Amino acid sequence: MKKNYLLAPGPTPVPERALLAMAAPVIHHRTPQFSAIFKETAELLRYVFQTKGDVLMLSASGTGAMEGSIVNLFSPGDEVIVINGGKFGERWGQISEKYGLKVHWIKVEWGDAVDPATVAKLMGENPNVKGILCQASETSTTVQHPVEELAKLTKDKDCLLIVDGITAVGVADMPMDKWGIDVLVSGSQKALMLPPGLAFAALSDKAWKFNETSTCPRYYFDFAKERKNLHKDTSAYTPAVGLITGLRESLLMIKEEGLENTFKRHDRLARAARAAMTALGLKLLAPENPSFATTGVYVPEGVDGAKFVKYMRDTMGVTMAGGQDHLKGKIFRIAHLGYVATFDMIIAVAAIEMGLTKCGHTLEVGKGVAAAELILMEGYE
């Protein structure tokens, strides 16, 4: 028998509580029964996004909320700065260019975080820039960008800070209102512990002002229309009834744990992952500004990275992600976001130790697990 473990940075494991809620018969969406679920879920989203404003629920994968943010806030010809430090940063720029925006790219080495001074300088040279687009956690390179610092740059300017928080919301402290983030985007299949299919976008008052004058073409992702419907406890088009029913449960789980504790858990799991890998003599991809959501590790010399990830998945039943683009076969990524707790990390580290050994690398079996345990024990009184 083989038991499977999903430890990839999306999709992530779904808790039994959410699965059971989603197993209930589908109810009609234009009913007081569903509106009650919708309303409660919208309120819970405000808590998790740390905003007093509205959080829109869209039926799409996370990229839908990214595209929606561009088309609802800008017009062709508008200038934006894109922080491109990985696959998802690149995506912000690609969407922007598709809609005729003028992109000022900031290329960041994969594994590094952006320097806010670079952004400030580019803003100074291009006073017409209307938006800064970045990731909070760049999942492809396992880096955390300095969102709080970036928010200071846009705060009192006619410029929006748009943050892809797809592996940051519900992982790391990202107080949207307090920091002055203008748009915070997320998706269901990461820290929100659901199957893929829902995307979220929260907008500041300043962002809603931009929405009034934006002329990019849009139909399905019409944020003003969605907001109008949200205020009536419904959505513009048929919502993903099952997913939203599950979402209420997963958000309640976050609320019951308490956001503060949720962030602490993710930080602890991330530190355990880094300590374990370091103890095994492996090199981290982002030692300086590591993401709370996922840890990137270089595959040791002499091991075929693609084969190693495949071996763990197909032979051992432990799914982790490899690298993308030029990091393909060179790194693997341990995910520790969402419905992941202490003993899932033991599984992850043990699988890496065994998998690497089976792939011909010499290491001291158990050394990584021991290092992880010492940190994971902090989670208990």
Ligand X SMILES: *Cc1c(COP(=O)(O)O)cnc(C)c1O
Contact residues toward ligand X (CB under 6 A) are: 9-10, 61-63, 88, 135, 139, 164, 166-167, 187, 196
Q: Any idea how long the chain is?
A: 381
* Min separation Cβ 110 and ligand X, Å: 14
* Min separation Cβ 92 and ligand X, Å: 9
CA 80 to the chain's CA centroid = 22
* Min separation Cβ 88 and ligand X, Å: 4
* Min separation Cβ 135 and ligand X, Å: 5
Give CA–CA dist 13/106, Å, rounded: 34
Spatial contact of 74 and 178, defined as CB atoms under 8 Å apart:
no
Query: DSSP assignment, residue 217?
Result: -
- Which of 61/94 has CB closer to ligand X? 61
Which residues have C-beta within 8 Å of that of residue 378, sequence separation ≥ 6?
268
Which residues have C-beta within 8 Å of that of residue 256, sequence separation ≥ 6?
none
Spatial contact of 253 and 193, defined as CB atoms under 8 Å apart:
yes
- Which of 56/371 has CB closer to ligand X? 56
Give CA–CA dist 251/233, Å, rounded: 17
- Which of 187/322 has CB closer to ligand X? 187
* Min separation Cβ 379 and ligand X, Å: 25
* Min separation Cβ 186 and ligand X, Å: 9
* Residue at 52: amino acid letter: K
- Which of 139/262 has CB closer to ligand X? 139
Q: How many CB atoms lie within 10 A of CB 208?
A: 17
- Which of 62/300 has CB closer to ligand X? 62
Report which of 65, 31, 13, 88 is spatially closest to residue 250, judged by C-alpha positions: 13
- Which of 187/300 has CB closer to ligand X? 187
